[in-house]
Structure 1
Amino acid sequence: MLPDVTNALRWLQQQPQLLSGIGRGIERESLRIRADGSLSEQGHPTALGSALTHDWIITDFAESLMEFVTPVDRDIPHLLTFLRDLHRYVIKNLGDERLWPFSIPGNITDTETIALADYGKSNLGQMKHIYRQGLKHRYGSLMQVISGIHYNFSLPTAFWEAKALANNDTRPLQDIASDGYLHLIRNYYRYGWIIPYLFGASPAVCESFLGHNPVVDTMESDGQGARWFPYATSLRLSDLGYTNKSQSGLAISFNSLEEYVAGLKQAIATPSADYEKMGLFDAQQQRIQLNTNVLQIENELYAPIRPKRVIRRGEAPSDALKRGGIEYIEVRSLDINPFSATGISEEQVRFLDTFLIWCALIESPPMDQEQLHFVKSNWNTVIMQGRKPGLRLKGECGQRDYSLKDAASVLFDGLASIAEILDHNSDGPYQSTCRQLRNMISDPELTYSGKILNIIKQEGFIGSGVTLAENYRQSLLQEPLEILTEDIFVEKAAESFAEQQNIEAADTLSFEEYLASRNG
């Protein structure tokens, strides 16, 4: 079923300080809405700076799809307060607009009203905009305005040094860390279904989101526009949500950094017959996609977790990894937490720390594509039926099926040992978090999906979203900034506009020349 972490913990139990320098960062996406829940059609507010160059407040696919980005932080309360300050300042500059509290968008009947993010006239800005044109033509705008949380996580250098010493590994530290993060990623694929089970918060959608999809007839309804599957946890992660069937044939390996980079580079060089039919230009000779390959750029690869390194300007993510190895991992399978004004809670952060360390410590055999496909089926089971009584998951490599409840209990036994180390062997917040979340195993109605579905059944999908959005708006408006100041935000906005102007002024190539130079 699940491996025992006891032996792997022995060297760490003697050195709990090795976990004191964990690096964390949060990226929270959220749609701007009007008071009635409809999508904002206003551009990105000027007071918030340039969406191209601002460090903390940017846009994602659409002008109305905001993204809040924290710097790397090694203190959880400080991280979450910083994120809340970003929300406090933004809300004060949105006029009568709110932030939608769900991952799945509300009532959008005309997707042409979704304005793609505008990043100015520089070649870089145009490339980002045309990339989004490609996403629109390939997958549709509705899928692209689904929101989520990305959690960036890195273990301290001292952790990898001590682990190497315990294993008599004398390779360069960069290689040890890269292999360690890939070890973690493989286990995240194997056991990460626990994330949508606990924190999936999109069991329901608005009927307008489904369009003419025949699946609508198989879903339960309140007769007022809300549709749901009774035991679903995260429709955002399902085939109804943020998925890409054209990528299903990509052979991306997580067994070594060399294999991962090679697979990624092959994907961005592989032609797609479907995208070739779309062409590169519309009738007015305006570009509608960057290229006709399976991936326009590497960021188009959809995955629940990614290995990352901070890139230099103009550098591809895979080239950054090749240059310096894996620096951190990005967890991408978190729904927006509708019970938090900032979309994520402290209990989620502490659980993720504990779970990711567990993934880094337990055995992690290499995975071929067949095994990777196999473990994804367990994710799909939990995504669609996670709260179903008696739910069973498939055993890997010919092992027998096992119950989700039993597996989760074994998992939490291991997490409790890691939480004790994180709390420095005294009863602290990590152990308290594990105890609280463990209750969700015996009572699935305590999960985020269970709780939000009960609210949606009572208040409707749009109604509950509007109520939460307004409640959070009022709370944030009344709260003072704690870490940042208004002067800092004003200065940051001015700096971002100046940087955008510098980028535009520095362009010497036409856009087509610029694009060719990047592809060359």
Structure 2
Amino acid sequence: MNVNKNLLNFLKSQPTSYFAGFNRGIEKEALRIHASGKLATSQHPKGLGSALTHDYITTDYAESLVEFITPVEQNAQTSIQQLLDLHKFAYQNQGEELLWPMSMPCFVGSEDDIEIAKYGTSNIGKMKTLYRQGLKNRYGSYMQAISGVHFNFSFPDSFWQAWASSQGKVANQSSIDEGYLAILRNLKRNLWLLAYLFGASPALCSSFLNGKSTPYPMQKIGKGTLYLPYATALRLSDLGYTNKAQAALNIRYNQLDDYIAGLRHAIRMPSADFASISAKPGDYQQLNQNVLQIENEYYSPVRPKRVTESGEKPTDALERAGIQYIELRALDIDPFNPAGMSVEQVRFLDLLITWCALTDSPDIEREDESIIAENLQQVILYGRKPDLLLEKNSKPIALTQWSTQILAELDDLAKIFDGDTQGVYHQALMAQQAKIENPDLTPSGKIMSHLLEHNLDNGSFGLQLAKQYRNESFERDFHHFTQTQLEQESKDSELRQQSIENADELDFDTFLTQYFGSSLSD
């Protein structure tokens, strides 16, 4: 790829302190489990406050699926320590329950064991729960119990001013939108690299399949763990958090207006697959019978984002004020880190996202999508296989060769970020280069080596780590939050939920009609 030399020169002219100005936020999910390793069926712990309104701790699909949210932060170490603080606070308020440290779920007996998250009696709370009821009826609950890490990132305004100048454009929101979309396209092209380096779901509990057949030649280890010998991230495969029907939506990141229009089209397009699921007042089983109930149902591994105002839909926020940050959703939980993510990984992502901004990013057309998807699929299923070939510029290329090429370009950036010394960014990069040279050093490789060496179930390994991390959390002090601060936030969140419930004046049917408005009509 061609590099934007003007923008590169701008970065070279900046002091190393400039690269501490990147904005990041992390959303990390974790299932609450019993000490036996089974899914917890208890309600969201009262000490964690309201899942509807808590600033830092909520739930995702299931009542037992906790989500930790760090505030926007410019120090990578601080973000990870905030995650650890939130984990510690959760442990303090959930009795003997543990937090599952892997992306693929623990043992789940039946779908009924996965209780849908509840958000109170307000209209918005009922809508959030009904949306999840719709997900259960559409795709089943097992898929919704998968956990992951979402990494949110934005550059400072000065970066976008330099980016626009390097392109001969005026620096405004339109050029920022164009720049972020270029990054998103390049991230999509290189998702295979993230799956290889950070994929940590090569195995799963057989209960996840619930007796269903799979097209993959799964092998068995222990009492009930299924795995693929060279897999990296089954979470991203057809077994995991994907939706084949959405591939036909043709939603791409070439133009913001087209992206918005594509999503809006999907939430008003009737779906034959979901037409039999009731969406009638008095018998709601989903929000509506369209391809997407709401925009969040679009399972893209990367997304353009803007913080929404109260009651505002994501596309309305993007249309109102443009892209504010990007969300990378293709990261497995790192089971070897109590926070689920490391500072080293954050620094590598800094380099990769900046590189995606520096390099050419032509539009992605329909035929390109199939190549991107196939490269990702190959790495998901066979990423650690020796001499694995991918497709680049219509030609086969070895994963190791392509990876090494990218990391060589990232090394040029690391020197800029570190100030020509072999500092923290260089170290983060060398840790990834070691994984390319030795697949056993990848998270997926380390997991499989441990399971095979000890003939151990994935669940037993995860349970060992969960107990270890719980014990360590009680020995660790709070770093950035304080216990008093988090306790107060829990109390305040309960009051905020009550305020929302007390302010409701519309019945639920009218609320839904007004919320969707023109979105569900032509």
TM score, norm. by length of structure 2: 0.96
Percent identity over the alignment? 45
Amino acid at match of 1:57: I
Question: Are 2:497 and 1:500 equivalent residues in the alignment?
Answer: yes
CA apart distance, 1:296: 0.3
Q: Map of 1:194-209 to 2, 5 A cutoff?
A: 194-209=193-208
Task: Determine the C-alpha separation between the residues in 1 that align with 2:333 and 2:446.
Answer: 14
Q: Give unmatched runs, 5+ long, in structure 1.
A: none
Question: Are 2:415 and 1:433 equivalent residues in the alignment?
Answer: no
Which residue among 419, 433, 448 is the counterpart of 1:424? 419
CA 98–343 in structure 1, closer or farther in 2 if over 3 Å, else same: same
Task: Determine the C-alpha separation between the residues in 1 that align with 2:263 and 2:411.
Answer: 36
Task: Determine the C-alpha separation between the residues in 1 that align with 2:381 and 2:7.
Answer: 33
SS of 2:515's partner is helix
Task: Determine the C-alpha separation between the residues in 1 that align with 2:215 and 2:48.
Answer: 39
Q: Map of 1:93-242 to 2, 5 A cutoff?
A: 93-170=93-170, 172-215=171-214, 218-242=217-241
SS of 2:232's partner is coil
CA apart distance, 1:10: 2.7
Amino acid at match of 1:464: F
Question: Are 2:70 and 1:70 equivalent residues in the alignment?
Answer: yes
Paired residue for 2:255?
256
Contact 1:101/1:341 (8 A) holds in 2: yes
Task: Determine the C-alpha separation between the residues in 2 that align with 1:353 and 1:179.
Answer: 19
Amino acid at match of 1:193: W
Task: Determine the C-alpha separation between the residues in 2 that align with 1:184 and 1:143.
Answer: 28
Amino acid at match of 1:498: L
CA 18–160 in structure 1, closer or farther in 2 if over 3 Å, else same: farther
Question: Are 2:360 and 1:375 equivalent residues in the alignment?
Answer: no
Which deviations, in whole Å up to 9, do the C-alpha atoms of 1:101-130 show, x marking residues without a partner? 110011112110111101000000000000
Contact 1:32/1:66 (8 A) holds in 2: yes
Q: How many residues align structurally? A: 514
Which deviations, in whole Å up to 9, do the C-alpha atoms of 1:194-236 show, x marking residues without a partner? 1010000000011111122222882111141011000000000
Question: Are 2:383 and 1:386 equivalent residues in the alignment?
Answer: yes
SS of 2:268's partner is coil
Which deviations, in whole Å up to 9, do the C-alpha atoms of 1:328-353 show, x marking residues without a partner? 00000000100011111111101111
CA 387–7 in structure 1, closer or farther in 2 if over 3 Å, else same: farther
Task: Determine the C-alpha separation between the residues in 2 that align with 1:13 and 1:217.
Answer: 47
Question: Are 2:450 and 1:478 equivalent residues in the alignment?
Answer: no
Paired residue for 1:79?
79
SS of 1:151's partner is strand
Which residue among 352, 355, 358 is the counterpart of 1:358? 355
- Quote the RMSD (CA, aligned, Å): 1.5
TM score, norm. by length of structure 1: 0.96
Task: Determine the C-alpha separation between the residues in 2 that align with 1:502 and 1:425.
Answer: 54
Contact 1:58/1:67 (8 A) holds in 2: yes
Which deviations, in whole Å up to 9, do the C-alpha atoms of 1:151-207 show, x marking residues without a partner? 00001111001122223212x521111100100011111112110100000000111
Task: Determine the C-alpha separation between the residues in 2 that align with 1:256 and 1:421.
Answer: 31
Amino acid at match of 2:186: N
CA 355–161 in structure 1, closer or farther in 2 if over 3 Å, else same: same
Q: Map of 1:15-54 to 2, 5 A cutoff?
A: 15-16=14-15, 18-54=18-54
